[in-house]
């Protein structure tokens, strides 16, 4: 086959895949309720129960405020773990590790939280966010057909989305995070979609490390609310973390 023809067919194939990726994203957005209803949601609050691999159960909650604020909590035996992002910095309280005082989150710990902080998810307005999306064709999830999208995030991490070919909703998400020369991989299965405020949300979420399915955790959301009253202060750094840099500066002087 002439070299020019091979190059031409390659360009046509690449263009077709690119177009297909955009078409699938459009179908995914339409399946969730449409871009207008998605953008009409300004806040989200999700509360539910977590069932751990070790047999323990706890309460979980997540609050999001557009465009990129998030606060996640896990409560067990009267203690509550907190992870939050205020739009520029992440902070956490880890009582189960004996750290009851708020701490700033390191870059590695923050990566998962930043994905959750993206209010509409990385597929919506992906070009404006600096993401790249490719359609990788068909795949199989638990014996069923799925459509596979690869999302390359601006920071270099990768998310693979598997869409149901009938509903075009996400049924699985695989995240690859590249940290100091190693790869951290997590898998999340999504199901039991229900409409809230005209937008489809998964009420069942299960997942964990890709290489250790026995440690996966299951979350069942009992209630998902949209456009509930939330303020920036709900996600802001605690006073002790705001004062720490001031104290350090005073000590230097």
Instruction: With a cut of 80, say whether residue 244 has pLDDT above it.
Output: no
Instruction: With a cut of 90, say whether residue 8 has pLDDT above it.
Output: no
H or E, element range at 207: strand 199-209
DSSP state of 225: E
Cα distance between residue 85 and residue 25, in whole Å: 27
From the list 108, 72, 47, the residue with the least C-alpha distance to 235 is: 72
222 within 8 A of 47, measured Cβ to Cβ: yes
- Give the range of the structural domain holding residue 190, as residue numbers without chain letter: 3-252
Residue 137: which pLDDT band, with cuts at 50, 70 and 90?
very high
Cα distance between residue 188 and residue 162, in whole Å: 10
Compute CA 86 distance to the chain's CA centroid, rounded to the nearest angstrom: 16
To 5 degrees, how large is the angle CA 187–CA 80–CA 248? 100
Instruction: With a cut of 90, say whether residue 9 has pLDDT above it.
Output: no
H-helix segments, the chain: 3-32, 35-40, 107-117, 239-252
CB atoms within 10 A of CB 100: 10
List Cβ neighbours of 195 (8 Å cut-off, separation of 6 or more).
33, 201
Phi/psi at 89 (nearest 5 deg)?
Answer: -130, 150
Residue 239: which pLDDT band, with cuts at 50, 70 and 90?
very high
pTM, to two decimals: 0.86
152 within 8 A of 158, measured Cβ to Cβ: yes
Span 125-150, average pLDDT: 96
pLDDT of residue 14: 47
Q: Which residue has the higher pLDDT, 226 or 53?
A: 226
Q: Is the peptide bond before 67 cis (omega within 30 degrees of 0)?
A: yes
pLDDT of residue 55: 87
In this structure, what CATH number is given to the domain that contains residue 182? Answer: 2.50.20.10
Instruction: With a cut of 60, say whether residue 4 has pLDDT above it.
Output: no
DSSP state of 87: S
Span 179-203, average pLDDT: 96
List Cβ neighbours of 98 (8 Å cut-off, separation of 6 or more).
none
Q: Tens digit of pLDDT for each residue in 72-109?
A: 999 999 999 999 999 999 999 999 878 889 999 998 88
DSSP letter for each residue of 48-103: EEEE-TTS-EEEEEEEEETTTEEEEEEEETTEEEEEEE-SS-EEEEEGGGTEEEEE
Instruction: With a cut of 80, say whether residue 22 has pLDDT above it.
Output: yes
Span 169-182, average pLDDT: 94
| Domain count for the chain | 1
Instruction: With a cut of 90, say whether residue 123 has pLDDT above it.
Output: yes
Cα distance between residue 90 and residue 98, in whole Å: 19
């Amino acid at each position: 086959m002439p070299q020019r023809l091979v190059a031409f067919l390659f360009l046509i194939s690449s263009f077709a895949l690119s177009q297909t990726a955009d078409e699938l994203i459009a179908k995914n957005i339409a399946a969730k309720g449409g871009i207008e209803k998605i953008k009409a949601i300004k806040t989200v609050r999700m509360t539910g129960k977590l069932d751990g691999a070790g047999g323990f159960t706890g309460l979980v909650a997540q609050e999001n405020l557009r465009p990129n604020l998030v606060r996640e909590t896990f409560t067990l035996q009267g203690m509550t773990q907190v992870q939050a992002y205020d739009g520029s910095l992440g902070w956490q309280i880890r009582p189960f590790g004996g750290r009851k005082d708020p701490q700033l989150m390191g870059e590695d710990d923050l990566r998962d939280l930043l994905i959750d902080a993206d209010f509409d998810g990385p597929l919506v307005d992906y070009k404006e966010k600096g993401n790249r999306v490719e359609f990788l064709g068909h795949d199989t999830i638990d014996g069923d057909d799925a459509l596979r999208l690869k999302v390359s995030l601006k920071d270099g991490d990768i998310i693979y989305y598997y869409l149901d070919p009938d509903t075009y909703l996400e049924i699985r998400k695989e995240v690859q995070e590249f940290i100091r020369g190693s790869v951290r991989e997590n898998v999340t299965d999504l199901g039991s979609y229900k409409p809230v405020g005209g937008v489809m949300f998964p009420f069942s979420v299960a997942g964990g490390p890709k290489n250790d399915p026995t440690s996966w955790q299951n979350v069942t959301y009992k209630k998902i609310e949209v456009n509930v009253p939330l303020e920036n202060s709900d996600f802001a750094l605690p006073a002790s973390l705001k004062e720490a840099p001031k104290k350090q500066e005073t000590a230097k002087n």
